[in-house]
A and B are shown apart, each in its own frame.
Chain A
Amino acid sequence: MTVRREPATPVLTVEDLSITFTQRGAAPTRAVDRVSFEIGAGEVVGLVGESGCGKSVTALAVMGLLADRNVEIGGRIAYAGTELLGLPRKRMRDLRGADLAMIFQDPLSALNPVVPVGRQITEMLSRHRGLRGRDADAEAVQLLGRVGIPDPERRLKEYPHQMSGGMRQRAMIAMAVSCGPRLLIADEPTTALDVTIQAQVLELLKDLVETEGTALLMITHDLGVVAGLCDRVNVLYAGRVVEAAPRHELFGNPVHPYTTGLLRSIPRMDGDRGVPLNPIRGSVNDLVAWADGCAFAPRCDRYELECLAGTPAVTELPGVDHEHRCVNPPGTPAVVR
Chain B
Amino acid sequence: MNLPGTATKAAKIDRLAELSVSSSDVRGRSLWLEAFSRLRRSPMAIVGAVIVSAFVIVAVAAPLLAPHDPTAQLWRGDVFPNRSIFVGPRAENPLGLDHAGRDLLSRMLVGARQSLMVGVVATLIGLSVGALIGGVSGAAAGMGRRLGRAVDSVLMRFVDMLLSIPALLIAISVAALLGPSLTTLMIAVGAAQVPIFARLLRGSMLAQSRSDFVTASIALGVRRPKVVVSHVLPNSLGPVLVQGTLTLATAIIEAAALSYLGLGSPDISRPEWGGMLADAQRFLGSAPHMALFPAVAIIITALGFTLLGEAMREALDPKLKK
Contact = CB atoms under 8 A, between A and B. Distances in A.
Interface of A: 63, 65, 67-69, 93-98, 101-102, 104, 106, 109-116, 120, 123-124, 127-128, 154, 157-159, 161-162, 172, 175-176, 179
B99 interface: no
B222 A127 contact: yes
A96 to B, nearest CB: 4
A114 to B, nearest CB: 5
A319 to B, nearest CB: 40
Q: Which of B32, B220, B223, B234 has the most CB of A within 10 A?
A: B220
Contacts of A69: 144
B216 interface: yes
Nearest to B214: A112
A159 B226 contact: no
Contacts of B68: none
24 contacts: A67-B144, A69-B144, A96-B218, A96-B221, A98-B221, A101-B219, A102-B219, A104-B215, A106-B212, A110-B215, A110-B216, A111-B216, A113-B318, A115-B234, A116-B30, A123-B217, A123-B222, A124-B221, A127-B221, A127-B222, A127-B226, A159-B28, A159-B29, A175-B220
B73 interface: no
Contacts of B219: 63, 65, 96-97, 101-102, 104
Contacts of B32: 114
A115 B230 CA distance: 8
Contacts of B226: 123, 127
Nearest to B145: A68
A277 to B, nearest CB: 31
Given A65-B219, A158-B27, 15 more contacts: A93-B221, A96-B219, A97-B221, A102-B216, A109-B211, A111-B213, A112-B217, A112-B230, A112-B234, A114-B31, A115-B230, A116-B30, A127-B223, A161-B321, A162-B29
Interface in B210-263: 211-213, 215-223, 226, 230-231, 234-235
B235 A114 contact: yes
A115 B28 CA distance: 10
Interface string B188-213: 00000000000000000000000111
A124 B28 contact: no
Interface residues of B, number: 28
Given A123-B230, A161-B31, A97 B220 contact: yes
A176 B218 contact: no
Those 3 A-B pairs whose CB atoms lie nearest each other, nearest first? A97-B221, A97-B220, A109-B212
Contacts of B223: 93, 127
B271 to A, nearest CB: 43
B218 A115 contact: no
Q: Which of B32, B145, B222, B318 has the most CB of A within 10 A?
A: B222
B212 A104 contact: yes
B231 A115 contact: yes
B277 to A, nearest CB: 43
B28 A116 contact: yes
Contacts of A157: 27-28
A65 B218 contact: yes
A65 B31 CA distance: 29
B265 to A, nearest CB: 41
A94 B226 CA distance: 14
A161 B172 CA distance: 47
Given A112-B213, A112-B217, A159-B31, A124 B222 contact: yes
A95 B235 contact: no
A175 B216 CA distance: 10
Contacts of B28: 116, 157-159
A101 B220 contact: yes
A109 B212 CA distance: 5
Contact of A68 (B27, B144, B222, B230): B144
A124 B230 CA distance: 12
Contacts of A68: 144-145
A129 to B, nearest CB: 11
Contacts of B27: 154, 157-158, 162
Nearest to A161: B31
Contact of A114 (B217, B218, B220, B234): B234
A95 B220 contact: no
Contacts of B213: 109-113
Given A104-B212, A106-B212, A115-B230, A94 B221 contact: yes
Nearest to A90: B223
Contacts of A176: 220
Interface in B152-190: none
Contacts of B217: 112, 120, 123
B221 A114 contact: no
Nearest to B33: A159
B56 to A, nearest CB: 28
A127 B219 CA distance: 13
B207 to A, nearest CB: 13
B210 to A, nearest CB: 11
Contacts of B212: 104, 106, 109-110
Contacts of B31: 113-114, 159, 161
B316 to A, nearest CB: 11
B185 to A, nearest CB: 36
B128 to A, nearest CB: 21
Contacts of A123: 217, 222, 226, 230
Interface in B25-40: 27-32, 34
Nearest to B231: A112
Nearest to B235: A114
B144 A95 contact: no
A110 B216 CA distance: 6
A37 to B, nearest CB: 20
